[in-house]
Amino acid sequence: MIRTGLATREGTAADNADAAKVYKLTDGTVGAAVIDGIGHGPHTSATAPLLAEVAARISARRGPLAGLLTASELIADKHADGKEADAVAVAARAVPDDGITVVNWTGDARAYGWNGRRLELYTDDHTVGAQLRANGVALEVAREHDNWLRTSLARATIGTVYTAGIRDQLIVLTTDGIHAQIPADLLTGLVRDHEDDPAALAAALVAAAQDDTDGYRDDATAIVILH
């Protein structure tokens, strides 16, 4: 049996550009997708739920790589006004009696796994900042480039949508409104406190995101999958 939880909360901007969807097949297979729209325009907010719906449904049937690439096709062609929505995303497929949850992602949406003792990050952010850190650039310099995306959903290809297989029983998918605005020790503590209740964990994660020093709080979205 696979149980899930989903929660999202609008940030301090005018609208919620995040979206998430969980879709379950008749055999119990779960497809899940978290979308983090780039920007906060009305077109982005309107398109994000469609991207999540498509990605989750296709992920359940064909796997998360197909899910994200199919969602990508919806926004790959620039709209006539040049303002077609774009996003980063993470999607997962969990199959009953299968010990591995397959995850695919593009951009800086994340997937974590919890085995009852430790919370492990299984994705790497597709940002210039992350690339600089991986190549030994000083942290204070790399940090200034964390908002520069190296890829996005609209530009996704097989080569830019990465794959991870997670054996942990608890999977957490997040937008950066959670993992960038909640300290790592608090994130781990929330998972430990709510590891048996996916809905409660998802709600706790989005509620824990706090305003930064400038008073800004990003949209926060999480999906929790528990085998």
- State residue 214's pLDDT score: 81
What's the order of all strands across the beta sheet hosting 170-174? Answer: 3-9, 220-226, 170-174, 110-114, 119-121
Residue with tokens 């608890």: 170
pLDDT tens, position by position, 155-197 = 899 988 999 999 999 999 999 999 989 999 999 999 999 999 9
CATH architecture of 3-226: 4-Layer Sandwich (3.60)
For 41-84, how does the pLDDT look when each residue is reduced to its tens digit (9 = 90+)? 777 888 999 999 999 999 999 999 999 999 999 998 876 555 66
**pLDDT tens by residue, 14-45:** 788 999 999 999 999 999 999 999 877 777 88
Rounded to two decimals, the pTM is 0.91
Helix axis angle, 42-62 relative to 64-75, nearest 10°? 150
DSSP designation for 79: P
Which pLDDT value is given to residue 128? 45
**Straight-line distance from the first to the last Cα atom of the chain, in angstroms, rounded to the nearest whole number:** 6
pLDDT of residue 129: 47
| Domain coordinates in residue numbering, the chain | 3-226
Mean pLDDT of 202-225: 91
Give residue 142's pLDDT band: very low, low, confident or very high (50, 70, 90).
Answer: very low
CA distance 13 to 52: 20
SS3 5: strand
CA 10, 153, 121, 115 dihedral sign is positive
Please give the full DSSP string across 112-180, using - where no structure is assigned. EEE-SS-EEE-----BHHHHHHHTT--HHHHGGGTT-BS--STT--TTTSEEEEE-SSEEEEE-HHHHT
Residue 133 has pLDDT above 70, yes or no: no
Locus of tokens 């780039």 = 38
